[in-house]
Amino acid sequence: MKKPRLLLINPWIYDFAAHDYWAKPLGLLYIASWLRANGCHVDFIDCLNVHHPQMAFEPHIKHATRRANGTGKFYRQRIPKPAFFTHIPRHYYRYGLTYRLFWEELNKLPPPDVILITSGMTYWYPGVFAVIHFCKQKWPQVPITLGGIYATLCYEHACQYSQADFVVKGPAETTLPSLLEQLTGIKLEYTPKMEYDPDLPYPAFDLLPQIDYVCILTSRGCPFRCEYCASRLLFSTFYQRPPQDVFKEIIFWHTQYGIKEFAFYDDALLVNAETHAVPLFNMIIKSKINVHFHTPNGLHARFITPKVAKIMFQAGVKTVRLGLETASPKRHDQKLTREEFIQAVHYLHEVGFTPSQIGSYILIGLPGQAKAEVKETIVFAQKLGITPRLAEYSPIPGTKLWPEALQCSQYDLANEPLTHNNSILPCAHSSLSWEDIKELKKIWHISCT
C-alpha cells in the first residue's frame, strides 16, 4: 500500500523580539522521525530557516548574524503592529523567510496527503495562521492539522480562528496516529509510547538545511509545579531516559554529522542527578569527545553540588542558566532558597565557570511585582558575580497564576492570545512603567532573554 506523503511546517514568529537561542522545533522533528520510521514520506519547511541561500538577497530584510555556538539572529522584516499595541514603544517583526520564498518552497513540492503545522508561543499565532492561509491557497483540498503549544493552550481559539481542518491538543503520540489513519486510511505500525520508549528514533535534524547544533532531551516533563509555568499542561508526567541512551545519541550526532554544540531542552536536567546527569557527564568525560553543552531551559540551582559542578565543567558545559526568578523570599516556594542559590553559584565559580557563562533568569512583570523587587533580584545576582538575564513574564492559560493575571491585566487575555506577549509586560501596567523597565535594563546593562 502507498505510504502517505506528509508535509511538516515550522511557522513564522510574529513578535517584538525573537532570537535563535538554540531554538528548534524539537517536537516536530521527533514527529518527523517516527513518521519516517513508519515508512511515510516526510517533507519539511522551516519558516525560520536562517540558511536559505536566497534570503540574503531579499529586499527590506534585517540580516541574520550568527555566532560560533550556533545561536544568533533570525532574518526579520518589520511589519505593522496589531492595533492595540500602538502605544508600545517597540517595533514589531515577522521573523523568518519572506512570503515570496515560502511560496517558492511550497511550489517545489508535490501535493502532500496531509499537512502538519506546529505552533509555539500562544502570541505567535499570526505566523501559524499565515502558513495555513498559504497552504490553503496552494492545495485547497489537502487537510491541515495544527498542533503544538498554542494549539494545546488556546485550543478553542485555534479551532475557531485558525482555519486548520483539525486542531490537536497535547502530545502528538496520543492524537496523531488515529487522525492520520482517518485521513489517509493507513494505520501506523509504530507509535511512540508516552513513557520512555527505547525504540523512539532520534529527532530528524537531518531535515534541516544545516545543523548548527542539536537539541537533546534527556527527560520529559517536570516534577515541579511552578505557578507561572505550562510544563505540566504540555506533558503531565515526568520520565528520564537512561544516561547510556542519551550518551549514544550525542555520540551519533557528533560522529555522523560532526555536531559540536548541544543544547539540553530538559525542564529538569539535574533531578536525580546521581543516577541521571552524573553518569551521563561521566560518560562524556571518559569518551574525551570535544563537544559543548548549553542549558537554555535553566537548571535547578538546588541540585548543583560540588561534584555536579565539577563534572559539568569537565564534560564541556559552556552555558549555565539558573532559574533564580526572584530573590524576594515571599515569592519562593519549596523549589529554591536564597542560600541554596548562593551555594550553587559558589560551587560553579570554584570549578572554573566564569561570570559570563553563568546567567540567572530573573522574572519581570509578574502580577503585582514592583520595580524594587526586580531591582533587588538583579543586585543579588550581580553581587554573586553572575549575569542577570531578564525573562519577561507571559501569562499562560491554565496555570495557577492565570486567574491573578486575568485580574490585574489591562488586556483581554482570555480572548486575545496576542496579549500574552511577554514583551508588552501584560500584567505589569499598574506596577512597572516603560520608564522603569528602561531604567532597569540601562542601569545594569542587561539584555532580556
Q: Which stretch binds ligand SF4 (CB under 6 A): 26-34, 226-234, 357-365, 435-443?
A: 226-234
The contacts of residue 281 (CB under 8 Å, 6+ apart) are 311, 312, 314, 315
Residues 231-250 close enough to bind ligand SF4 by CB under 6 A: 231
Name the region of 143 (left: φ>0; alpha: ψ -120 to 50; beta: rest).
beta
C-alpha dist (Å) from residue 397 to 151, 157, 174, 269 = 12, 12, 21, 25
**Could you say which DSSP state residue 422 is in?**
G
- Answer positive or negative: Cα dihedral of 444, 298, 119, 231: negative
Q: Of the candidates 117, 128, 131, 222, which one interacts with ligand SF4 according to CB under 6 A?
A: 222
Q: Candidates 223-231, 395-403, 405-413, 431-439 — which segment interacts with ligand SF4 by CB under 6 A?
A: 223-231
Residues 319-338 that bind ligand SF4 (CB under 6 A): 323
Please measure the distance between the N-terminal and C-terminal CA atoms of the chain and give it in whole angstroms. 48
Of 144-152, 222-230, 382-390, 393-401, the segment contacting ligand SF4 by CB under 6 A is 222-230
Minimum Å distance from CB 297 to ligand SF4?
7
Q: Which of 179, 229, 342, 448 binds ligand SF4 (CB under 6 A)?
A: 229
User: Shortest approach of ligand SF4 to residue 157 CB, angstroms?
Assistant: 23
Neighbours of 116 (CB within 10 A): 28
Size of residue set near ligand SF4 by CB under 6 A? 9
* Site membership for ligand SF4, residue 225 (CB under 6 A): yes
Is 5:110 a contact under the CB 8 Å cutoff?
A: yes
* Amino acid letter, residue 284: I
Copy the grid coordinates of residue 111.
501535493
Q: In this complex, which beta carbon is closest to ligand SF4, that of residue 172 or of residue 226?
A: 226
Rounded Cα distance between 228 and 243, Å, is 30
Closest-CA residue to 277 (of 215, 218, 347, 358): 218
CB 36 within 8 A of CB 204: yes
Q: Pattern 411-440, binding to ligand SF4, x per CB under 6 A?
A: ------------------------------
Nearest-angstrom CA–CA distance, 210 and 416: 36
Q: From 35-43, 90-98, 218-226, 403-411, give the range in contact with ligand SF4 by CB under 6 A.
A: 218-226
Comparison of 30 and 224: residue with beta carbon closer to ligand SF4 = 224
247 or 341: CB nearest ligand SF4: 341
Q: Of 154-162, 174-182, 217-225, 386-394, which part binds ligand SF4 (CB under 6 A)?
A: 217-225
Binding flag, residue 226, ligand SF4 (CB under 6 A): yes
Per CB under 6 A, residues contacting ligand SF4 are: 222, 224-226, 229, 231, 267-268, 323
